[in-house]
Structure 1
Protein backbone atom coordinates (compact mmCIF):
# COMPACT_ATOMS: atom_id res chain seq x y z
CA UNK A 1 0.00 0.00 0.00
CA UNK A 2 2.82 2.37 0.90
CA UNK A 3 4.53 1.56 -2.40
CA UNK A 4 1.35 2.42 -4.29
CA UNK A 5 1.03 5.65 -2.35
CA UNK A 6 4.61 6.63 -3.22
CA UNK A 7 4.02 5.72 -6.88
CA UNK A 8 0.86 7.83 -6.99
CA UNK A 9 2.70 10.76 -5.40
CA UNK A 10 5.47 10.50 -7.96
CA UNK A 11 2.96 10.46 -10.83
CA UNK A 12 1.23 13.55 -9.42
CA UNK A 13 4.57 15.32 -9.03
CA UNK A 14 5.53 14.62 -12.63
CA UNK A 15 2.13 15.64 -13.92
CA UNK A 16 2.18 18.93 -12.06
CA UNK A 17 5.86 19.77 -12.61
CA UNK A 18 6.31 23.36 -13.83
CA UNK A 19 5.99 23.51 -17.60
CA UNK A 20 8.81 26.02 -17.91
CA UNK A 21 11.30 23.44 -16.65
CA UNK A 22 9.83 20.62 -18.69
CA UNK A 23 10.11 22.52 -21.95
CA UNK A 24 13.18 21.94 -24.08
CA UNK A 25 12.43 25.18 -25.92
CA UNK A 26 11.24 28.60 -24.73
CA UNK A 27 9.50 30.68 -27.38
CA UNK A 28 10.61 34.31 -27.15
CA UNK A 29 8.21 36.77 -28.75
CA UNK A 30 9.85 39.68 -30.54
CA UNK A 31 8.46 42.70 -32.32
CA UNK A 32 8.57 41.59 -35.95
CA UNK A 33 9.85 45.04 -36.97
CA UNK A 34 13.63 45.34 -36.36
CA UNK A 35 14.46 47.88 -33.67
CA UNK A 36 18.23 48.47 -33.73
CA UNK A 37 20.36 48.39 -31.69
CA UNK A 38 18.05 46.25 -29.56
CA UNK A 39 17.12 43.94 -32.42
CA UNK A 40 18.00 43.78 -36.09
CA UNK A 41 17.89 41.30 -38.92
CA UNK A 42 20.65 40.39 -41.36
CA UNK A 43 20.01 39.90 -45.11
CA UNK A 44 20.19 36.19 -44.38
CA UNK A 45 17.31 36.51 -41.92
CA UNK A 46 19.37 36.11 -38.76
CA UNK A 47 18.43 38.23 -35.74
CA UNK A 48 21.10 40.11 -33.81
CA UNK A 49 21.40 42.99 -31.35
CA UNK A 50 21.55 43.74 -27.64
CA UNK A 51 18.27 42.01 -26.77
CA UNK A 52 19.28 38.93 -28.77
CA UNK A 53 22.63 38.69 -26.97
CA UNK A 54 20.98 39.07 -23.56
CA UNK A 55 18.37 36.45 -24.49
CA UNK A 56 21.12 34.01 -25.49
CA UNK A 57 22.98 34.68 -22.23
CA UNK A 58 19.82 34.00 -20.23
CA UNK A 59 19.10 30.81 -22.13
CA UNK A 60 22.62 29.56 -21.46
CA UNK A 61 22.18 30.38 -17.78
CA UNK A 62 18.82 28.58 -17.69
CA UNK A 63 20.11 25.73 -19.88
CA UNK A 64 17.16 26.29 -22.19
CA UNK A 65 16.86 26.41 -25.96
CA UNK A 66 15.78 29.72 -27.44
CA UNK A 67 13.33 30.08 -30.29
CA UNK A 68 12.59 33.55 -31.66
CA UNK A 69 8.98 34.11 -32.70
CA UNK A 70 8.43 37.42 -34.56
CA UNK A 71 5.03 38.96 -33.76
CA UNK A 72 3.46 42.27 -34.76
CA UNK A 73 3.85 44.56 -31.75
CA UNK A 74 0.14 45.29 -31.34
CA UNK A 75 -0.55 41.55 -31.23
CA UNK A 76 2.24 40.44 -28.93
CA UNK A 77 0.21 40.30 -25.69
CA UNK A 78 -2.61 38.33 -27.37
CA UNK A 79 0.05 35.94 -28.72
CA UNK A 80 1.30 35.35 -25.17
CA UNK A 81 -2.22 34.80 -23.87
CA UNK A 82 -2.97 32.39 -26.72
CA UNK A 83 0.13 30.32 -25.83
CA UNK A 84 1.82 31.09 -29.15
CA UNK A 85 4.86 32.40 -27.25
CA UNK A 86 6.16 31.90 -23.72
CA UNK A 87 7.98 35.21 -23.19
CA UNK A 88 7.55 38.76 -24.46
CA UNK A 89 11.09 39.98 -24.95
CA UNK A 90 11.09 43.15 -26.94
CA UNK A 91 11.68 46.04 -24.57
CA UNK A 92 8.13 46.07 -23.20
CA UNK A 93 7.73 48.79 -20.58
CA UNK A 94 6.25 47.53 -17.33
CA UNK A 95 3.18 49.66 -16.66
CA UNK A 96 0.23 49.24 -14.30
CA UNK A 97 -2.08 48.78 -17.28
CA UNK A 98 -0.01 45.95 -18.75
CA UNK A 99 0.46 44.32 -15.36
CA UNK A 100 -3.28 43.62 -15.34
CA UNK A 101 -2.81 41.09 -18.14
CA UNK A 102 0.91 40.16 -18.03
CA UNK A 103 3.30 39.18 -15.24
CA UNK A 104 6.74 40.76 -15.52
CA UNK A 105 10.22 39.74 -14.48
CA UNK A 106 12.62 42.18 -12.89
CA UNK A 107 13.70 44.83 -15.38
CA UNK A 108 16.48 44.11 -17.81
CA UNK A 109 16.87 47.63 -19.20
CA UNK A 110 15.58 51.10 -18.63
CA UNK A 111 16.06 54.48 -20.20
CA UNK A 112 14.05 57.67 -20.67
CA UNK A 113 12.57 58.81 -23.93
CA UNK A 114 14.00 61.78 -25.77
CA UNK A 115 12.69 64.38 -28.20
CA UNK A 116 15.07 65.19 -31.04
CA UNK A 117 14.84 67.82 -33.77
CA UNK A 118 17.12 69.78 -36.08
CA UNK A 119 19.54 72.03 -34.21
CA UNK A 120 18.28 74.95 -36.29
CA UNK A 121 14.70 74.42 -35.06
CA UNK A 122 13.92 76.34 -31.89
CA UNK A 123 11.45 74.16 -30.06
CA UNK A 124 10.58 73.64 -26.42
CA UNK A 125 9.12 70.35 -25.20
CA UNK A 126 5.92 71.72 -23.69
CA UNK A 127 2.31 72.02 -24.73
CA UNK A 128 2.94 75.52 -26.03
CA UNK A 129 6.33 74.70 -27.53
CA UNK A 130 5.02 71.72 -29.54
CA UNK A 131 1.91 73.54 -30.76
CA UNK A 132 1.35 72.74 -34.45
CA UNK A 133 4.65 70.83 -34.61
CA UNK A 134 4.58 67.44 -36.34
CA UNK A 135 5.83 65.05 -33.66
CA UNK A 136 6.70 61.56 -34.85
CA UNK A 137 6.38 58.49 -32.65
CA UNK A 138 6.20 54.72 -33.08
CA UNK A 139 2.62 53.52 -32.90
CA UNK A 140 1.20 51.17 -30.25
CA UNK A 141 3.89 52.17 -27.73
CA UNK A 142 3.91 53.93 -24.38
CA UNK A 143 5.64 56.80 -26.16
CA UNK A 144 2.49 57.27 -28.22
CA UNK A 145 0.33 57.19 -25.09
CA UNK A 146 2.60 59.72 -23.40
CA UNK A 147 2.46 62.10 -26.35
CA UNK A 148 -1.30 61.84 -26.68
CA UNK A 149 -1.79 62.32 -22.95
CA UNK A 150 0.36 65.45 -22.56
CA UNK A 151 0.54 67.01 -26.01
CA UNK A 152 -2.38 65.55 -27.94
CA UNK A 153 -4.32 68.80 -27.89
CA UNK A 154 -1.54 70.91 -29.36
CA UNK A 155 1.00 68.83 -31.29
CA UNK A 156 0.30 67.14 -34.60
CA UNK A 157 1.16 63.56 -33.69
CA UNK A 158 2.26 61.37 -36.60
CA UNK A 159 2.41 57.61 -36.10
CA UNK A 160 5.03 55.30 -37.64
CA UNK A 161 5.54 51.55 -37.78
CA UNK A 162 9.21 51.86 -36.78
CA UNK A 163 11.56 54.44 -35.32
CA UNK A 164 13.69 54.14 -38.48
CA UNK A 165 10.71 55.29 -40.53
CA UNK A 166 10.20 58.25 -38.20
CA UNK A 167 13.84 59.37 -38.35
CA UNK A 168 13.92 58.89 -42.13
CA UNK A 169 11.02 61.31 -42.41
CA UNK A 170 12.79 63.70 -40.04
CA UNK A 171 15.76 63.75 -42.41
CA UNK A 172 13.38 64.25 -45.35
CA UNK A 173 11.65 67.15 -43.60
CA UNK A 174 8.29 65.40 -43.30
CA UNK A 175 8.12 65.83 -39.53
CA UNK A 176 9.59 68.30 -37.04
CA UNK A 177 10.34 66.29 -33.90
CA UNK A 178 10.85 62.61 -33.17
CA UNK A 179 10.15 61.06 -29.78
CA UNK A 180 11.69 57.69 -28.95
CA UNK A 181 14.19 55.67 -26.97
CA UNK A 182 17.10 57.93 -25.99
CA UNK A 183 19.80 55.35 -26.73
CA UNK A 184 18.48 54.61 -30.19
CA UNK A 185 18.06 58.28 -31.03
CA UNK A 186 21.56 59.06 -29.77
CA UNK A 187 22.97 56.43 -32.13
CA UNK A 188 20.90 57.85 -35.00
CA UNK A 189 22.19 61.39 -34.42
CA UNK A 190 25.82 60.24 -34.33
CA UNK A 191 25.42 58.46 -37.65
CA UNK A 192 23.96 61.42 -39.54
CA UNK A 193 26.71 63.34 -41.43
CA UNK A 194 27.34 66.68 -39.79
CA UNK A 195 25.24 65.72 -36.78
CA UNK A 196 22.56 68.36 -37.49
CA UNK A 197 20.16 67.06 -34.83
CA UNK A 198 20.06 67.42 -31.07
CA UNK A 199 18.03 66.36 -28.05
CA UNK A 200 15.43 69.00 -27.24
CA UNK A 201 14.04 67.31 -24.15
CA UNK A 202 14.07 64.16 -22.04
CA UNK A 203 11.00 62.65 -20.39
CA UNK A 204 10.81 62.63 -16.60
CA UNK A 205 9.81 59.54 -14.60
CA UNK A 206 6.17 58.99 -15.45
CA UNK A 207 3.67 56.16 -14.78
CA UNK A 208 2.70 56.05 -18.47
CA UNK A 209 6.26 55.16 -19.43
CA UNK A 210 6.52 52.47 -16.77
CA UNK A 211 9.40 51.34 -14.56
CA UNK A 212 11.67 49.97 -17.24
CA UNK A 213 11.49 47.03 -19.62
CA UNK A 214 11.01 43.49 -18.38
CA UNK A 215 10.16 40.11 -19.83
CA UNK A 216 6.44 39.42 -19.96
CA UNK A 217 5.09 35.99 -19.07
CA UNK A 218 1.54 34.67 -18.75
CA UNK A 219 -0.37 35.67 -15.63
CA UNK A 220 0.37 33.25 -12.83
CA UNK A 221 3.46 31.72 -14.45
CA UNK A 222 5.59 32.42 -11.40
CA UNK A 223 7.90 29.48 -12.14
CA UNK A 224 9.14 30.93 -15.44
CA UNK A 225 9.19 34.47 -14.04
CA UNK A 226 11.30 33.44 -11.04
CA UNK A 227 13.57 31.28 -13.18
CA UNK A 228 14.29 34.24 -15.43
CA UNK A 229 14.86 36.56 -12.47
CA UNK A 230 17.52 34.21 -11.12
CA UNK A 231 19.20 34.12 -14.53
CA UNK A 232 19.05 37.92 -14.89
CA UNK A 233 20.67 38.38 -11.50
CA UNK A 234 23.35 35.84 -12.41
CA UNK A 235 24.44 37.53 -15.65
CA UNK A 236 24.50 40.91 -13.93
CA UNK A 237 26.63 39.51 -11.10
CA UNK A 238 29.04 37.73 -13.47
CA UNK A 239 29.55 40.84 -15.59
CA UNK A 240 28.25 39.17 -18.75
CA UNK A 241 25.42 41.69 -19.02
CA UNK A 242 27.82 44.62 -18.80
CA UNK A 243 30.16 43.07 -21.38
CA UNK A 244 27.29 42.73 -23.84
CA UNK A 245 26.14 46.30 -23.17
CA UNK A 246 29.60 47.68 -24.00
CA UNK A 247 29.31 46.23 -27.49
CA UNK A 248 26.40 48.55 -28.21
CA UNK A 249 26.36 51.52 -25.84
CA UNK A 250 28.56 54.01 -24.06
CA UNK A 251 26.38 53.77 -20.95
CA UNK A 252 24.83 50.88 -19.08
CA UNK A 253 21.26 50.46 -20.42
CA UNK A 254 20.22 48.87 -17.14
CA UNK A 255 19.83 52.35 -15.66
CA UNK A 256 19.83 53.49 -12.07
Structure 2
Protein backbone atom coordinates (compact mmCIF):
# COMPACT_ATOMS: atom_id res chain seq x y z
CA UNK A 1 0.00 0.00 0.00
CA UNK A 2 1.43 3.36 -0.99
CA UNK A 3 1.77 5.85 1.89
CA UNK A 4 2.62 9.20 0.27
CA UNK A 5 2.73 12.37 2.35
CA UNK A 6 0.97 15.38 0.87
CA UNK A 7 1.65 18.95 2.04
CA UNK A 8 -0.96 21.67 1.56
CA UNK A 9 -0.78 22.80 -2.06
CA UNK A 10 -0.34 26.55 -2.45
CA UNK A 11 -1.76 27.76 -5.74
CA UNK A 12 -2.90 31.23 -6.69
CA UNK A 13 -6.17 30.79 -8.56
CA UNK A 14 -9.32 30.30 -6.52
CA UNK A 15 -11.75 28.84 -9.05
CA UNK A 16 -11.85 26.94 -12.32
CA UNK A 17 -11.09 29.27 -15.15
CA UNK A 18 -10.70 32.24 -12.79
CA UNK A 19 -8.10 34.95 -12.65
CA UNK A 20 -5.25 35.14 -10.19
CA UNK A 21 -6.29 36.64 -6.88
CA UNK A 22 -5.33 36.61 -3.23
CA UNK A 23 -7.60 34.17 -1.43
CA UNK A 24 -7.67 32.43 1.91
CA UNK A 25 -6.92 28.71 1.64
CA UNK A 26 -9.97 26.48 1.53
CA UNK A 27 -10.16 24.43 4.71
CA UNK A 28 -10.80 20.71 4.12
CA UNK A 29 -12.37 19.27 7.24
CA UNK A 30 -11.42 15.71 8.18
CA UNK A 31 -11.99 13.86 11.42
CA UNK A 32 -9.30 14.50 14.02
CA UNK A 33 -9.55 10.79 14.83
CA UNK A 34 -7.50 8.88 12.20
CA UNK A 35 -9.51 6.68 9.82
CA UNK A 36 -6.92 4.61 7.94
CA UNK A 37 -6.38 4.20 5.06
CA UNK A 38 -8.58 7.22 4.23
CA UNK A 39 -7.04 9.70 6.67
CA UNK A 40 -4.26 9.13 9.19
CA UNK A 41 -1.03 10.67 10.44
CA UNK A 42 2.43 9.47 9.53
CA UNK A 43 5.24 8.91 11.99
CA UNK A 44 6.26 12.50 11.22
CA UNK A 45 2.81 13.75 12.27
CA UNK A 46 1.70 14.65 8.73
CA UNK A 47 -1.82 13.86 7.54
CA UNK A 48 -2.02 11.49 4.58
CA UNK A 49 -4.28 8.78 3.18
CA UNK A 50 -6.57 8.22 0.21
CA UNK A 51 -8.89 11.15 0.92
CA UNK A 52 -6.05 13.52 1.82
CA UNK A 53 -4.28 12.81 -1.47
CA UNK A 54 -7.51 12.87 -3.47
CA UNK A 55 -8.61 16.09 -1.78
CA UNK A 56 -5.37 17.79 -2.76
CA UNK A 57 -5.72 16.49 -6.32
CA UNK A 58 -9.23 17.94 -6.48
CA UNK A 59 -7.93 21.28 -5.21
CA UNK A 60 -5.17 21.21 -7.82
CA UNK A 61 -7.80 20.57 -10.50
CA UNK A 62 -9.68 23.64 -9.21
CA UNK A 63 -6.42 25.61 -9.09
CA UNK A 64 -7.22 26.43 -5.47
CA UNK A 65 -5.11 26.57 -2.33
CA UNK A 66 -6.33 24.08 0.28
CA UNK A 67 -5.34 23.04 3.78
CA UNK A 68 -6.28 20.03 5.89
CA UNK A 69 -8.08 20.96 9.11
CA UNK A 70 -8.70 18.10 11.58
CA UNK A 71 -12.03 18.46 13.39
CA UNK A 72 -13.84 16.19 15.85
CA UNK A 73 -16.22 13.94 13.91
CA UNK A 74 -19.23 14.66 16.12
CA UNK A 75 -18.83 18.39 15.50
CA UNK A 76 -17.74 18.36 11.88
CA UNK A 77 -21.10 19.44 10.38
CA UNK A 78 -21.54 22.27 12.93
CA UNK A 79 -17.99 23.40 12.11
CA UNK A 80 -18.89 23.51 8.41
CA UNK A 81 -22.06 25.49 9.02
CA UNK A 82 -20.21 27.92 11.31
CA UNK A 83 -17.55 28.60 8.65
CA UNK A 84 -14.62 27.09 10.51
CA UNK A 85 -14.10 24.71 7.59
CA UNK A 86 -15.17 25.05 3.95
CA UNK A 87 -15.85 21.42 3.08
CA UNK A 88 -15.99 17.95 4.61
CA UNK A 89 -14.04 15.22 2.86
CA UNK A 90 -14.07 12.29 5.24
CA UNK A 91 -16.05 9.32 3.89
CA UNK A 92 -19.36 11.10 4.52
CA UNK A 93 -22.20 9.33 2.73
CA UNK A 94 -24.82 11.39 0.93
CA UNK A 95 -28.05 10.76 2.85
CA UNK A 96 -31.44 12.46 2.96
CA UNK A 97 -31.00 13.31 6.64
CA UNK A 98 -27.69 15.10 6.03
CA UNK A 99 -29.04 16.85 2.92
CA UNK A 100 -31.53 18.63 5.15
CA UNK A 101 -28.69 20.60 6.76
CA UNK A 102 -25.84 20.64 4.20
CA UNK A 103 -25.31 20.09 0.49
CA UNK A 104 -23.06 17.56 -1.21
CA UNK A 105 -21.03 17.35 -4.37
CA UNK A 106 -21.38 14.47 -6.77
CA UNK A 107 -20.09 11.19 -5.25
CA UNK A 108 -16.37 10.49 -5.49
CA UNK A 109 -16.40 6.92 -4.16
CA UNK A 110 -18.76 4.09 -3.28
CA UNK A 111 -18.40 1.31 -0.71
CA UNK A 112 -20.74 -0.87 1.39
CA UNK A 113 -20.62 -1.62 5.10
CA UNK A 114 -18.93 -4.86 6.19
CA UNK A 115 -19.17 -7.15 9.21
CA UNK A 116 -15.92 -8.32 10.82
CA UNK A 117 -15.62 -11.09 13.41
CA UNK A 118 -13.25 -13.89 14.43
CA UNK A 119 -12.60 -16.25 11.55
CA UNK A 120 -13.67 -19.28 13.63
CA UNK A 121 -17.03 -17.73 14.50
CA UNK A 122 -20.00 -19.01 12.54
CA UNK A 123 -22.08 -15.98 11.61
CA UNK A 124 -25.26 -16.06 9.56
CA UNK A 125 -26.62 -12.58 8.93
CA UNK A 126 -28.71 -11.00 10.19
CA UNK A 127 -30.44 -13.76 12.21
CA UNK A 128 -27.14 -15.02 13.62
CA UNK A 129 -26.61 -11.71 15.45
CA UNK A 130 -29.07 -12.71 18.18
CA UNK A 131 -27.28 -12.55 21.55
CA UNK A 132 -24.08 -11.03 20.13
CA UNK A 133 -22.50 -7.66 20.91
CA UNK A 134 -22.03 -5.50 17.80
CA UNK A 135 -19.89 -2.36 17.78
CA UNK A 136 -20.33 0.55 15.38
CA UNK A 137 -19.13 4.14 15.22
CA UNK A 138 -21.86 6.63 16.08
CA UNK A 139 -23.05 9.32 13.65
CA UNK A 140 -22.26 7.10 10.65
CA UNK A 141 -24.41 5.46 8.01
CA UNK A 142 -23.48 2.09 9.52
CA UNK A 143 -24.92 3.20 12.86
CA UNK A 144 -28.09 4.36 11.11
CA UNK A 145 -28.36 1.03 9.31
CA UNK A 146 -27.82 -0.90 12.55
CA UNK A 147 -30.57 1.02 14.33
CA UNK A 148 -33.04 0.67 11.48
CA UNK A 149 -32.35 -2.83 10.19
CA UNK A 150 -30.83 -4.79 13.09
CA UNK A 151 -32.67 -3.67 16.22
CA UNK A 152 -35.12 -6.59 16.03
CA UNK A 153 -32.46 -9.27 15.60
CA UNK A 154 -31.63 -9.53 19.30
CA UNK A 155 -28.16 -8.04 18.87
CA UNK A 156 -26.71 -5.69 21.51
CA UNK A 157 -25.64 -2.59 19.53
CA UNK A 158 -22.91 -0.49 21.15
CA UNK A 159 -21.98 2.91 19.77
CA UNK A 160 -18.49 4.44 19.89
CA UNK A 161 -17.18 7.92 19.20
CA UNK A 162 -14.14 6.75 17.22
CA UNK A 163 -13.60 4.00 14.66
CA UNK A 164 -10.36 2.83 16.29
CA UNK A 165 -12.20 2.34 19.59
CA UNK A 166 -14.52 -0.09 17.81
CA UNK A 167 -11.58 -1.91 16.24
CA UNK A 168 -9.69 -2.21 19.54
CA UNK A 169 -12.70 -3.61 21.40
CA UNK A 170 -13.23 -6.23 18.70
CA UNK A 171 -9.59 -7.32 18.76
CA UNK A 172 -9.57 -7.43 22.58
CA UNK A 173 -12.70 -9.58 22.74
CA UNK A 174 -15.09 -7.01 24.19
CA UNK A 175 -17.15 -7.16 20.99
CA UNK A 176 -18.31 -10.17 18.98
CA UNK A 177 -18.67 -8.39 15.65
CA UNK A 178 -18.34 -4.91 14.19
CA UNK A 179 -19.94 -3.12 11.25
CA UNK A 180 -17.93 -0.49 9.39
CA UNK A 181 -16.88 0.73 5.96
CA UNK A 182 -15.67 -2.24 3.90
CA UNK A 183 -12.54 -0.51 2.63
CA UNK A 184 -11.47 0.39 6.16
CA UNK A 185 -12.21 -3.19 7.23
CA UNK A 186 -10.04 -4.54 4.41
CA UNK A 187 -7.21 -2.54 5.97
CA UNK A 188 -8.05 -3.69 9.49
CA UNK A 189 -7.95 -7.43 8.79
CA UNK A 190 -4.52 -7.04 7.14
CA UNK A 191 -2.96 -5.77 10.38
CA UNK A 192 -0.72 -8.15 12.30
CA UNK A 193 -2.81 -7.69 15.46
CA UNK A 194 -5.97 -8.65 13.55
CA UNK A 195 -4.76 -12.14 12.69
CA UNK A 196 -7.68 -14.48 13.27
CA UNK A 197 -10.32 -11.96 12.17
CA UNK A 198 -12.01 -11.69 8.79
CA UNK A 199 -14.77 -9.92 6.87
CA UNK A 200 -17.85 -12.11 7.16
CA UNK A 201 -20.26 -10.31 4.85
CA UNK A 202 -21.27 -6.93 3.48
CA UNK A 203 -24.45 -5.12 4.43
CA UNK A 204 -27.22 -5.19 1.82
CA UNK A 205 -28.30 -2.09 -0.08
CA UNK A 206 -30.35 0.08 2.28
CA UNK A 207 -31.56 3.68 2.19
CA UNK A 208 -29.43 4.40 5.29
CA UNK A 209 -26.31 4.18 3.10
CA UNK A 210 -27.42 6.96 0.77
CA UNK A 211 -26.04 7.59 -2.70
CA UNK A 212 -22.30 7.24 -2.25
CA UNK A 213 -19.67 9.42 -0.58
CA UNK A 214 -19.51 13.11 -1.48
CA UNK A 215 -17.86 16.31 -0.26
CA UNK A 216 -20.07 18.14 2.24
CA UNK A 217 -20.48 21.89 1.71
CA UNK A 218 -22.68 24.70 2.99
CA UNK A 219 -26.01 25.15 1.23
CA UNK A 220 -25.14 28.68 0.06
CA UNK A 221 -21.84 27.71 -1.57
CA UNK A 222 -23.16 27.10 -5.09
CA UNK A 223 -20.01 28.28 -6.87
CA UNK A 224 -17.81 26.03 -4.73
CA UNK A 225 -20.12 23.10 -5.40
CA UNK A 226 -19.92 23.65 -9.17
CA UNK A 227 -16.13 23.94 -9.07
CA UNK A 228 -15.77 20.85 -6.90
CA UNK A 229 -18.04 18.82 -9.17
CA UNK A 230 -16.00 19.81 -12.20
CA UNK A 231 -12.79 18.90 -10.38
CA UNK A 232 -14.20 15.54 -9.21
CA UNK A 233 -15.15 14.74 -12.79
CA UNK A 234 -11.64 15.66 -13.93
CA UNK A 235 -9.81 13.45 -11.41
CA UNK A 236 -12.14 10.57 -12.22
CA UNK A 237 -11.75 10.92 -15.99
CA UNK A 238 -7.98 11.43 -15.99
CA UNK A 239 -7.42 8.35 -13.82
CA UNK A 240 -6.16 10.14 -10.70
CA UNK A 241 -8.91 8.78 -8.46
CA UNK A 242 -8.51 5.24 -9.80
CA UNK A 243 -4.71 5.37 -9.39
CA UNK A 244 -4.97 6.48 -5.76
CA UNK A 245 -7.73 3.96 -5.04
CA UNK A 246 -5.76 1.05 -6.45
CA UNK A 247 -2.66 2.23 -4.60
CA UNK A 248 -4.41 2.31 -1.22
CA UNK A 249 -7.04 -0.41 -1.60
CA UNK A 250 -6.01 -2.65 -4.47
CA UNK A 251 -9.33 -1.95 -6.21
CA UNK A 252 -11.17 0.92 -7.88
CA UNK A 253 -13.83 2.49 -5.63
CA UNK A 254 -14.20 5.64 -7.71
CA UNK A 255 -17.14 4.33 -9.73
CA UNK A 256 -20.35 2.66 -8.60
Q: 2:131 is matched with which residue?
A: 132
Q: Are residues 71 and 193 of structure 1, via their aligned partners in 2, closer, same or farther at CA, if it must alter by over 3 Å?
A: closer
1 or 2, which has the higher strand percentage? Answer: 1
2:237 and 2:179 mapped to 1: Cα distance? 33
More helix by share: 1
Match of 1:5 in 2: none
TM-score w.r.t. structure 1 length?
0.87
- CA RMSD across the alignment: 1.8
SS in 1 for 2:131: coil
1:56-111 CA-partner distances (Å, limit 9, x unpaired): 10111111111112111111111111111110111111001111111110001110
Range that drifts further, 193-202 or 174-183? 193-202
Q: Are the equivalent residues in 2 in contact too, given 1:115–1:125 (CA < 8 A)? A: no
Deviations 1:202-226 (A, max 9, x none): 1122111111110011113211001
**Hey, what does 1:63 align to over in structure 2?**
63
- Tell me which structure has the larger Cα radius of gyration: 1
Could you tell me which residue of structure 2 aligns to residue 8 of structure 1?
none
CA distance in 2, matches of 1:44, 1:161: 25
Q: Assess if the C-alpha contact under 8 Å between 1:119 and 1:196 holds in 2.
A: yes
- Residue 194 of structure 1 deviates from its aligned partner by 8.2
What is the number of equivalent residue pairs in this alignment? 236
Quote the Cα distance in structure 2 between the aligned partners of 1:245 and 1:95.
Answer: 23
Q: Which runs of 5+ in 2 are unaligned?
A: 1-17
> 1:239–1:172: structure 2 CA closer, same or farther, 3 Å change rule?
same
Aligned to 2:101: 101
Question: What is the CA–CA distance in structure 2 between the aligned matches of 1:198 and 1:132, rounded to whole Å?
Answer: 20
What's the offset of the Cα at 1:193?
Answer: 6.3
Q: TM-score, normalised by structure 2?
A: 0.87
Structure 1 residues not aligned, in runs of 5+:
1-17
| Change in CA separation of 1:30 and 1:203 when aligned onto 2, cut-off 3 Å | same
Inter-partner Cα distance in structure 2 for 1:22 and 1:85: 18
Matches within 5 A, 1:23-172: 23-126=23-126, 128-153=127-152, 154-172=154-172
Corresponding residue SS for 1:107:
coil
Runs of 4+ in structure 1 off by over 3 angstroms are 21-24, 192-195
Tell me the alpha carbon deviations over residues 149-202 of structure 1, each in whole angstroms, 9 at most, x when there is no partner. 122242111222322222222121111001101111112112236842222221
